[in-house]
Chains A and B, each alone.
Chain A
């Protein structure tokens, strides 16, 4: 190192250019310019292509008549309705599958997740097999399996499988009793709402009292009594306004009742069992993340194991479970687009499928479809981030 000569200090221009600030600005400008050029090229090409193929542009098509039927509609829709209406029907169908799928996935997922930690060997084995099998098969495979191999193989309506004579499973889907709302329904619903509100309030009070005095409160029974009992009293008082119309077999099909199309059943079952396998793993990870010392401490304070689970372990486990649970919910919602493979009329099937085929306006339609999913993702993550902030560990 003796003959190392200090380089001459850089002169004006070079030192200015070596300034990291200048460099980063130049780099960012270059990046931005490249993106803008790319975007401009895309737009330019798209304009030329659309002109060449004589495809209309703009969102005017949403008001044109759709002219196709949809097999499941939650709001009024007919073939003379507009594409915009079909879009709404699609969104609602997607949301319906998502909400019901999320409910069942959560229930199954928690049961299986707890089952994987069970001391019972048989339960543990079954839970492990469930998780490993369902997690390692493609969701589309599972949905096709439920649709083609299970539901299509059900007997025809005349030989349908009866569930206590109330609901019937056949190859045309499931028929369940349809609720009919008569005079006085409003009062019953009002009572129900009141009961729920009361339960929430009593729960808050019981919780506060427990934290102050340590005295417990049979919240489960009181809550159940409120939620079931009050509306029941109201029903009796108003003379049972809510009745159920039973489906009846007439000729070759069922009359009356509410028909759930087989596509919906296959999709819901497929998605919820698949997602449940992932949720089970999240639940298991969450519960094992609570250190065993917590359980031991709770036991030594004299809490029974049920209470230990409810008051000590689960609140801490939820903190770990919630974030991945959210992304599983989002995955389920996004996977509901697999509907298009079995013909359930969700957003993608109705809009990006049929509507795109009829109008050819690929850019608008795919942008709208992607936009809907993006909005759902963003809303969910905003809500969940807020919740997460509330339950997150406050570190000192």
Chain B
């Protein structure tokens, strides 16, 4: 251990093992001293905070679980002095909260749409899953078309296209009859397509020297539109379900998903327009974006519900849900445009210059070099926009479309379930549902952000 000399001095040859730290500074006590009671103010705050927790959490758990009623068939079960949440109420209203007034026999269609949505969405969200291109095509193009057919029943009696409104076709197609109307529609469609292709060719020739590209693009657009109409016009033997009968979570999800799917291309176009060198195009895009961003969504919904029909030809009266969807799409597009613009601005100038030096045209540069990078950068912001869109879908209840919250509000008025706890049960359930959706998405957005950011960390 040590060397001892005659005069009593000694030299230590080995380090003495250190004493354990004072028990007050380590372990649970030490942690508490450091984190909870480091000063008087801190101790007071801790006690106040604990009081708050004790005041809120145990009663909440008591209400939701311990005192809750789990079985019953009407309000009788949930009456009583010390009753917690009335879960049978939710059970009884569950179908209404999910499907609205969708006919009971046809609800398998909604289930199928939900199921397909999950099946296509999950591999899209898992970043390492291959076949992203195919997957996005299926989710963003094929799925909405299929969902439309399944949910409405397809077979939209396509009758007038462009010329039909001027009464030109009726003369050719002869008097009505389903076949006649259908023939008339397609004649009309082909005529319009030919006209538009010709116009595009002329403009393209004038502007770019060769109209072939423009004509081809227009022809593709019309071919796509034609295919879409053809699909929607086929009679699959599904019963037609008016959107007035839709409701609940179905409407919430339809509005949120349609909103994001339609606003993405529009938003990208607006963002490109805002970054364009052409002053008039830029001005138009800025006005559009700032206008929609400057007004509340409710006024947009009022606009879509009451003002939009006045702008359409006399007699054209689109369905209520469609009107709301148009409003939501325009509103969201403005926000997406700003998000995408952020992504475009984050791409270093060298990428643009490199692409141009390679001799790529503007559209090739955007399609192959800039947009893939910019869009990947802004995935978290897009998810955040989607979260706010999801929360904003509740607003449609103000224009009499009964989404999840709207159905819940309607369920409160049922006298069969009128108890003092019905309201709280309903709010608790809806709160949990909304929270799971929004919190899940925000965690996902954080996860993507962290994954994408690894190389930029300093």
Contacts and interface: CB of A to CB of B under 8 A. Distances in A.
Interface of A: 13-14, 17-18, 22-24, 26-28, 30-32, 35, 41-42, 45-46, 48-50, 52, 118-123, 125-126, 132-133, 135-141, 144-145, 148-149, 153, 334-335, 337-338, 340-341, 348, 352, 356, 362-363, 366, 369-370, 373-374, 377-378
A370 B397 contact: no
A123 B49 CA distance: 6
B278 interface: yes
Interface string B186-214: 00000000000000000100111100000
Contacts of A334: 295-297
A374 B294 contact: yes
Given A27-B281, A126-B53, A374-B291, A42 B311 contact: yes
Nearest to B273: A31
Contacts of A132: 439
Contacts, number: 169
Nearest to A43: B311
Given A46-B311, A126-B49, A31 B435 contact: no
Contacts of B280: 28, 31-32
A26 B311 contact: no
A136 B310 contact: no
Contact-residue size bin, chain B (C-beta under 8 Å from the other chain): 35 or more
Contacts of B35: 119-121
Contact of B310 (A22, A24, A50, A139): A50
B46 A139 contact: no
A45 B312 contact: yes
30 contacts: A17-B206, A17-B207, A17-B209, A23-B207, A26-B203, A28-B278, A31-B281, A46-B310, A49-B314, A119-B35, A120-B36, A120-B42, A122-B45, A122-B46, A123-B46, A141-B394, A141-B427, A148-B427, A149-B423, A340-B298, A341-B397, A348-B296, A356-B302, A363-B310, A366-B299, A366-B302, A370-B291, A374-B295, A377-B294, A377-B295
A338 B297 CA distance: 9
B58 interface: no
B270 to A, nearest CB: 13
Given A31-B280, A132-B439, A48 B314 contact: yes
B164 interface: no
A46 B309 CA distance: 9
A362 B312 contact: no
B72 interface: no
Contact of A144 (B298, B299, B405): B405
Interface string B315-346: 00000000000000000000000000000000
Nearest to B436: A136
Nearest to B32: A121
Contacts of B311: 41-42, 45-46, 49
B430 interface: yes
B294 A35 contact: no
Contacts of B430: 141
A138 B434 contact: yes
A369 B293 CA distance: 14
A122 B409 contact: no
3 shortest interchain CB distances as A-B pairs: A136-B438, A122-B49, A334-B296
A149 B424 contact: yes
A353 B71 CA distance: 42
Contacts of B442: 135-136
Q: Is chain A's binding surface mostly helix, strand, loop or mixed?
A: helix
Nearest to A47: B310
B275 interface: no
B224 interface: no
B425 to A, nearest CB: 10
A146 to B, nearest CB: 10
Interface of B: 34-36, 38, 42, 45-46, 49-50, 52-53, 203, 206-209, 277-281, 284, 291, 293-299, 302-303, 306-307, 309-314, 387, 390-395, 397-398, 405, 409, 412, 423-424, 427, 430-431, 434-435, 438-439, 442
Contacts of A13: 209
Nearest to A31: B281
A123 B397 CA distance: 37
Contact of A45 (B295, B314, B412): B314
Contact of B294 (A32, A118, A123, A378): A378
Contact of B306 (A148, A366, A374): A366
A373 B296 contact: yes
A24 to B, nearest CB: 5
Contacts of A340: 298, 398
A138 B404 CA distance: 12
Nearest to B277: A24
B409 A137 contact: no
Contacts of A137: 391, 431, 434-435, 438
Given A27-B281, A45-B312, A141-B394, 4 more contacts: A120-B49, A135-B442, A136-B435, A363-B310
A140 to B, nearest CB: 4
Nearest to A53: B310
Contacts of B297: 334
Nearest to A32: B280
Which of B293, B294, B298, B313 is the most central at the interface, judged by chain A CB atoms within 10 Å of its CB?
B298
Given A140-B405, A338-B298, A340-B298, A45 B435 contact: no
